[in-house]
Structure 1
């Protein structure tokens, strides 16, 4: 297991290095921060002093070297807008994103396991066809379109739900539903396919011949063996939620790291943007390692193949 874990960490480290390189140089393409933080009447001397104060007057590769040296000491720099440490701003916003992603995936996994298992229990039945149609529709629905329609129908026209906010249970409904729809649709299809194959396996016939109840057969024997592909897809979808909550957080004003990234781009707050992207990338990196470990624990062939 340790050899497998080491190989996965080494293979994931190179993309993380590219993230460090890319976020630094792409952030500079958003424009000169002096145009935002100095008045229109600012003189060239004021602009030069501003650039010198924040190190923007050095060549880009010199700035990048200084940035990497700071990262080596876990120093992400200070926010241009608030003059506070950039990592503190990101860490304040990150729990809101993790809570949103966690609630979404919990509902998606539980719902997909129940509906996918019931659909696979009687293939080609009416329930199976309805579940397949709804899951395919949900998996192909763009989240930004669903978010806009949700605001228009349930918040503006019906006035049942708020358009934004952080207090009360009602503020969770639209953001969670928007993030939930695609993972739920994908997981239902994956669970159904895995369960159809599992229920047709010889060990299921043996379990039934021994008098096991149908509930034990479906949720005890078949679901346990069908969990590996579902776990992998659920992990990938969780990573996508953490990485792709920008649209949802922006539309609903959710105070997470996605909205913080957008605000940092608009404000050309390079330090906060870089910290947000890197901490998000590190979280995704750790989630991928955790997914790989869980998958290896479920399937010994994965460990043996990785160590071969």
Structure 2
């Protein structure tokens, strides 16, 4: 176990290093001068140049990256070019909101998607199975921002039941969580149906039926328990996806998470914030994948981590 963890942690470090290189290079290739954006349209050229020197933007790209990497290794993600606040502090204050939104969205996806997929497999070939398959395809292809605006228009504007945006009590998280979780509902439902169909075809399930056990016992005790094991990996990946893909939802609902911070930073070319946010999302996704592998090995004794 320990050698496996050591290799995975080393691989995680290499992944984050590659992410930092790619993001750093892409941001430097985008047209525009961050110093000019910060200084404003009325700033004189010499003022912009002094700001570029102060921010270290006049140095060669490899020098800028070397300094950036050195700071990151010590836990310093730099300061925001706009607010001059430490990027790590900004991300820490926003990450809790993103984590809450992702957790509630995953809970919504599980509550809706898991029963839908299981029942579709049990009643394979029926109208319910066809309906669930159709809804899953529609949910996977539906644009997040469009679905969010539809929910706002109906539940907030027309009915007045829920707030349109903001961050506060549980009422504020309902629409963002449903919007963000819609794609995961479709993915979990399709995966649950596939895993359940496989489990229902196993020999021990046919044996249980041959013994005369009730169908609910066969499904709940024998088939479902084994169908859930491969579903763990999908659920873990969905959680990582929800953390990283929340930018659109957070923007639509003005949810103060990392995604909204990233969108604002992109609009203003706040390079340190963009780099820090992308690194945080990448690290979160990789960490969730590691936890999923460990949990999968715990649930299935046939899996050995070597």
TM-score with structure 2 setting the length: 0.90
Does 100-109 or 266-275 show the bigger shift? 266-275
Is the CA contact 2:108–2:177 (under 8 Å) kept in the aligned structure 1?
Answer: no
Please show how residues 185-200 of structure 1 align to structure 2 within 5 Å: 185-200=186-201
Take 1:94 and 1:30, find their aligned partners in 2: how far apart are those partners?
29
Does 38-47 or 57-66 show the bigger shift? 38-47
Take 1:189 and 1:234, find their aligned partners in 2: how far apart are those partners?
12
Take 2:52 and 2:146, find their aligned partners in 1: how far apart are those partners?
41
Is the CA contact 1:122–1:128 (under 8 Å) kept in the aligned structure 2?
Answer: yes
Q: Specify the SS of the correspondent of 2:107.
A: helix
* Per-residue deviation, 1:45: 2.7
Q: Gapped runs of 5+ residues in structure 2? A: none
Is the CA contact 2:108–2:178 (under 8 Å) kept in the aligned structure 1?
Answer: no
Residue 58 of structure 2 corresponds to 57
Residue 21 of structure 1 corresponds to 21
Is the CA contact 2:144–2:179 (under 8 Å) kept in the aligned structure 1?
Answer: yes
Does 67-76 or 170-179 show the bigger shift? 170-179
Residue 292 of structure 1 corresponds to 293
Take 1:39 and 1:101, find their aligned partners in 2: how far apart are those partners?
36
Residue 71 of structure 2 corresponds to 70
Q: Specify the SS of the correspondent of 2:199.
A: helix
In the comparison of the two structures, how many residue pairs are matched? 305
Q: Gapped runs of 5+ residues in structure 1? A: none
Is the CA contact 1:179–1:248 (under 8 Å) kept in the aligned structure 2?
Answer: yes
Residue 251 of structure 1 corresponds to 252
* Per-residue deviation, 1:209: 5.3
| 1:104 to 2:71 alignment | no
Is the CA contact 1:78–1:86 (under 8 Å) kept in the aligned structure 2?
Answer: yes
Distance 1:149 1:99, change over 3 A: same
Residue 175 of structure 1 corresponds to 176
Is the CA contact 2:165–2:253 (under 8 Å) kept in the aligned structure 1?
Answer: yes
Is the CA contact 2:80–2:270 (under 8 Å) kept in the aligned structure 1?
Answer: yes
Q: Moved runs in structure 1, 4+ residues, more than 6 A?
A: none
1:198-226, CA deviations, whole angstroms, 9 ceiling, x for partnerless residues? 12212123344566554443223212211
Distance 1:4 1:302, change over 3 A: farther
Take 1:215 and 1:107, find their aligned partners in 2: how far apart are those partners?
24
Distance 1:275 1:124, change over 3 A: same
